[in-house]
Amino acid sequence: MAYINSGENEIFYERRGSGPPLLLINGFGPPCEWIEQFYLPHFLPHFDCVWFDLRGVGRSSELQDRSSYQLGDHANDVAAVLDAVGWDTAHIWGASFGAALALQVACDLPERVRSIAIAAADPGTPDIFQKSYADVYDARRAYFGSLARQVETPVEATDEMMKAYFPEEQRRTDPRANDVRNALIKMLSERPIKDLMSPFKDIAEMTMAAAELPEAAVPSGSGGTGAVWSQLDALKSVNTPVLLLQGYSDLLVHRDAAFYLTNELPNIELRLIKPAAHSFAISDEHLEGMARWILRREDNLHSVSGVELRTASSHR
């Protein structure tokens, strides 16, 4: 475990494993331990893995300036982590906000990204999504609203979050869903919900406000109701290989976002998962499939004549 400086921010990261370089990026809120519990076991046998706490999360420092939590700021943190571990390039895996951040890195630093394997990516809501996103904004308002008000106990807050993470039947019967529930309760018990979500308070408030806006009130060219970031134009020039997994019944990121990305990105593969909500990517099947896809991209890179890749050393 180690810390690095990214501008005024101190970023906590960990590194373990051997093989091709893989950077793993979490979603909103959960610290590094979430990656270690649910994702890392599927990637560690194959890759030199690095993962880190987003700014304001876990052991990374929190900045008082809320304007310092834009996607570009997070992308700068990714670059700082890559520099710290001595990687010129890496494969990137991400889920939810981590997926959006992986795409941002591909926009800002395409020369440093070998491939991207992501789940539940929202590139910023374009106007064409307004009708299909109506239910999404209701779900996001309930999700962020309960956390921002901090009126629930950890158990009550967790059960509200679980409605977005898994379909009802899966919440009742899937042992992995119960593992997630227990991890959330533990996480929210150890650190107050208000503190945990504070780096994303602006995003939560903007999302909740957007849910209240009538369609006619959305400014033309705004990127759509509640777009906190918009990568739509920049993504059209991304040639990086992308694997995108999308839950068909995701309440936080509508599947239309995945269809949009599939139409716009020149080198993308979409896997639509049924039935699945926002946290489908924790399943063994999907994680192992993503690991195999990344390994194939690595093989493709080595098979291209003249491509030079920095080999990751062992860090077990």
pLDDT at position 173, please?
92
Q: Return the number of other C-beta atoms located less than 10 Å from residue 285's C-beta.
A: 10
Whether residue 221 lies inside any domain: the answer is no
| In a domain? residue 89 | yes
Q: Which domain holds residue 301?
A: 1-124+229-316
Three-state DSSP class for 51?
A: strand
pLDDT at 151: 55
- Please give the chain's pLDDT, 316 residues, in tens: 799 888 878 999 999 999 999 999 998 778 889 999 999 999 999 999 999 998 888 788 877 776 777 788 899 999 999 999 999 999 999 999 899 999 999 999 999 999 999 999 988 765 555 556 666 767 777 776 666 555 568 888 888 889 889 999 999 999 999 999 999 898 888 876 666 666 556 555 555 554 454 333 333 333 333 344 567 778 888 899 999 999 998 888 888 889 889 988 999 999 999 889 998 878 899 999 999 999 999 999 877 644 444 444 334 3
In a domain, 77, yes or no: yes
Identify whether 201 is part of a domain. no
Q: From the CB of residue 236, how many other CB atoms can be counted at a distance below 10 Å?
A: 11
- Token representation of residue 280: 């489908």
Report d(CA 152, CA 255) in Å as an integer. 29
Other CB atoms within 10 Å distance of the CB of residue 173: 10
Does a cis peptide bond (omega within 30 degrees of 0) precede residue 31?
no
> Is 170 inside a domain boundary?
no
Q: State the total domains in the chain.
A: 1
User: Per the domain annotation, does 187 fall within a domain?
Assistant: no
Cβ atoms of 95 and 281 within 8 Å: the answer is yes
CATH number at residue 248: 3.40.50.1820
**How would DSSP label each residue in 201-265?**
HHHHHHHHHHHHS-GGGSPTTSSSTT-S---HHHHTT--S-EEEEEETT-SSS-HHHHHHHHHH-
